[in-house]
Amino acid sequence: MQKILMIKYAELNTKKDNIGMFLRTLKQNIEEKTKDMATIQFDKGRMFLKTTEENFSFVLKTLKKTFGIHEIEIGYEIEDTKMENIENVLKEIALEKDFKTFKVETKRSDKSYPLKSPEISRHLGGILLKNKENTMVDVHEPEITFYVEIRKDHAYIYSEKEKGLGGYPVGTLGKGLLMLSGGIDSPVAGFLSMKRGVKIEAIYFESPPHTSVEAKNKVESLVQILSEYSNSIKLHVIPFTKIQEEIYKNIPHEYLITIMRRMMYRIAERVAYKNHCKILINGESIGQVASQTLASMVAINKVVSLPVIRPVACFDKLEIISLAKKIGTYETSILPYEDCCTIFVPDHPVIHPDVEKCEEYEKLIPYEELIKEAVLNEEIVTNQIKKEFEDYL
Ligand code: ATP
Ligand code: MG
């Protein structure tokens, strides 16, 4: 009896001509994450994975963190579609389970099979009633449903399923650059953009000695957690101290944050171009802080021409926190290390910044040079091995 995982795709039905590319990417992503632990086959709108008993839970866990999957059915493959074989496997599975009411539901994609789907369900239901004591059929609210699927060469029986994450396979929509701070919002923004098929690289601005090595380690841990939903994620660490100090020394303090964020955007755009990222992504949420009012967004956004995607723009903080908990970034995000946005906070940051004033103030610092130097001195961190995988080994 070969244990099998059958994958139902998410949202891919709308991708008529491109479906091949979506499925190939999904397969590659799974293969990359599971190494050689599973073999993958396609058959009529489904993907089938076979693995060994000992690797089974790792493979399942990996699938649950892979975008592009709607549902994972856990069951058994039957080599030959003879009714007697199906009966035997069904009996074996049912005897291991504890239930009082059940139903059998059959789907027959091999229309040449001698019995029709309802006849097969009825027949197999009868077999179970005979072989499993104290059970009865309940077609409306059964405790357990045995799904039988008869295809050309094989039959399958499933009784368990797990929900997938949905979305598109990571990489199918190109690459974006995530501005990743150590906070709660930006990792969630990264997760949501990956869900739409965007592969991400991340950029982090650090300001040592004002920000600590622990703050940077925290961002690396967040990258590690996010990479479980993708494959490896490249992190660009940008030295931001000089720029920040120049801003602090020369620019009226109510504009500190606005100008600092304009510099971040400029640098992010350059790193994006250099690394073939088509969009910038960040964790801004409308109205959350002074730099996220609509007027601030206008003034800050002005300095770049790449689209800036803000996946949590319209979420409130509680919604973002709840998602952060679900995806596993929250506990790391709340570790109390400072971010470069929080070290030079003015008492009264401007809420409606004026673009002309921004441009005027920026003339007070040699920002072009400073930006070039910062980009040139970036440090690249690539997480090679996934945490989960490491634990497993
Ligand atoms: P977060 O919780 O993601 O830190 P926040 O609510 O604290 O967000 P800000 O500090 O204003 O908001 O930052 C807004 C966005 O700017 C962040 O979500 C992130 O995308 C980006 N950002 C802020 N600080 C940094 C940094 N040090 N490195 C990279 N990106 C940053
Ligand atoms: Mg922050």
Cα distances from 171 to residues 51, 65, 231, 318, in angstroms, run: 25, 15, 10, 29
Q: Quick one: which ligand is closest to 236's CA?
A: 1
Q: What is the pLDDT of residue 14?
A: 66
Tokens of 319: 């919604």
Domains of the chain in sequence order:
2-166 (3.30.2130.30), 175-392 (3.40.50.620)
Q: Which residue has the tokens 């996010």?
A: 226
Separation CA 146–CA 150 (nearest Å): 13
Ligand 1 atom 10 nearest Cα: 341
Q: What is the pLDDT of residue 388?
A: 46
Which residue did the predictor score with more confidence, 327 or 43? Answer: 327
Tell me which amino acid residue 244 is.
Q
pLDDT, average across residues 223-240? 95
Inform me whether the pLDDT recorded for 36 exceeds 90.
Answer: no
Residue 271 Cβ < 6 Å to ligand 1: no
Q: Quick one: which ligand is closest to 260's CA?
A: 1
**pLDDT tens for each residue of 143-187:** 999 999 998 888 999 999 999 999 999 999 999 999 999 999 999
Residue 265 Cβ < 6 Å to ligand 1: no
Q: Quick one: which ligand is closest to 292's CA?
A: 1
Q: What is the pLDDT of residue 390?
A: 47
Q: What is the pLDDT of residue 389?
A: 44
Report how far ligand 2's centroid is from the alpha carbon of 39 (Å): 42
Report how far ligand 1's centroid is from the alpha carbon of 104 (Å): 52
Q: Which atom of ligand 1 is nearest to the CA of 333?
A: 2
Q: What is the pLDDT of residue 340?
A: 66
Which residue out of 177, 178, 185 has the highest number of ligand 1 atoms within 8 Å of its CB and is therefore the one to mutate? Answer: 185
**pLDDT tens for each residue of 195-209:** 999 999 999 999 999
Across the beta sheet with 136-137, what order do the strands follow?
38-43, 46-51, 2-9, 69-78, 155-166, 144-150, 101-108, 136-137
Q: Which atom of ligand 1 is nearest to the CA of 257?
A: 11
pLDDT, average across residues 131-152? 94
Report how far ligand 1's centroid is from the alpha carbon of 360 (Å): 25
Q: Find how far residue 375's CA is from the centre of its chain.
A: 28
Residues 6+ away with beta carbon under 8 Å from 237: 204, 206, 216, 219, 378, 379, 380, 381
**pLDDT tens for each residue of 80-99:** 899 999 999 999 999 999 99
**pLDDT tens for each residue of 247-283:** 999 999 999 999 999 999 999 999 999 999 999 999 9
Report how far ligand 2's centroid is from the alpha carbon of 141 (Å): 48
Which residue out of 177, 181, 222, 226 has the highest number of ligand 1 atoms within 8 Å of its CB and is therefore the one to mutate? Answer: 181
Report how far ligand 2's centroid is from the alpha carbon of 180 (Å): 9
Of all residues in the chain, the percent with pLDDT exceeding 70 is 96
From the list 189, 232, 255, 185, the residue with the least C-alpha distance to 389 is 232
* Interior angle at CA 149, CA 146 and CA 153, nearest 5: 140
Report how far ligand 2's centroid is from the alpha carbon of 339 (Å): 6
From the list 319, 283, 60, the residue with the least C-alpha distance to 191 is 283
Cα distances from 303 to residues 250, 259, 334, in angstroms, run: 20, 10, 31
**pLDDT tens for each residue of 54-79:** 999 999 999 999 999 999 999 999 98
Q: What is the pLDDT of residue 109?
A: 85
Q: What is the pLDDT of residue 291?
A: 78
- Name the band, by pLDDT with cuts 50, 70 and 90, for residue 13: low
Report how far ligand 2's centroid is from the alpha carbon of 164 (Å): 30
Of all residues in the chain, the percent with pLDDT exceeding 90 is 79
Q: Which atom of ligand 1 is nearest to the CA of 203?
A: 29
Strand intervals (E) in 109-173: 136-137, 144-150, 155-166
Q: Within 13 Å and on the Cβ side, how many CA atoms surround 206?
A: 25
Separation CA 344–CA 244 (nearest Å): 8
Q: What is the pLDDT of residue 339?
A: 73
Q: Which atom of ligand 1 is nearest to the CA of 289?
A: 11
Q: Quick one: which ligand is closest to 222's CA?
A: 1
Residue 149 Cβ < 6 Å to ligand 1: no
Q: What is the pLDDT of residue 369?
A: 97
Q: What is the pLDDT of residue 323?
A: 98
Report how far ligand 1's centroid is from the alpha carbon of 250 (Å): 23
**pLDDT tens for each residue of 293-337:** 899 999 999 999 999 999 999 999 999 999 999 999 999 999 987
Q: Which atom of ligand 1 is nearest to the CA of 184?
A: 2
Report how far ligand 1's centroid is from the alpha carbon of 167 (Å): 25
Which residue did the predictor score with more confidence, 390 or 285? Answer: 285
Q: Quick one: which ligand is closest to 309's CA?
A: 1
Residues 6+ away with beta carbon under 8 Å from 191: 226, 229, 323, 327, 329
